Amino acid sequence: MIIRHATEEDIRHLVPLMLEYIVDFYKRPNPGEHKVAQLVKQLLDHPDYGVQFLADDGAEIIGFATVYFTFSTLQVKRAAIFNDLYVRPSGRGKKIGESLFLHCLDYVRKHSFAGMQWETAKDNFIAQSLYKKMGGHISEWLVYEIE
């Protein structure tokens, strides 16, 4: 198993995996293959927006993680938002999610970001357990949203 940056050659394999994450795991409307491919391509074309890492077992891509970049005014540095972590059911229980998370964290630290933040669903206890194991803690900040 290797963790590596996504490339243009990965788009055709990454898009179905991302749709599985969006539609099957999070039960969100299907945005369509074209829109997901555009998102991946935009990250590849503009690496200052963010980065995607893949878990590749040599036969297929079985997981991915996405980190988007923003800024922290309070720390006067770039900051990272760990937005996605997904491993296919067939790859779960093999520490692939842990490896993807640690790879993202290592990337953030090597590039001297202010830190890495993320959120997860209140009922995603498996993810919460992983994040606590990795040293994450619940922020003192509240998350608000408007759709």
pLDDT band with cut points at 50, 70 and 90 for residue 66:
very high
pLDDT band with cut points at 50, 70 and 90 for residue 106:
very high
Share of the chain above pLDDT 70, in %: 100
What pLDDT score was predicted for residue 121? 84
Share of the chain above pLDDT 90, in %: 79
Interval 99-105 mean pLDDT? 96
Helix H segments across the chain? 11-19, 33-45, 96-110, 125-133
pLDDT band with cut points at 50, 70 and 90 for residue 105:
very high
d(CA 102, CA 7): 20
15, two tokens? 């898009």
The better pLDDT of the pair 25, 147 is held by: 25
pTM over 0.85: yes
Instruction: Round to the nearest angstrom and report the end-to-end CA distance of the chain.
Output: 38
Residue 96 reports pLDDT greater than 90: yes
| Closest alpha carbon to 114 in 72, 143, 82, 81 | 72
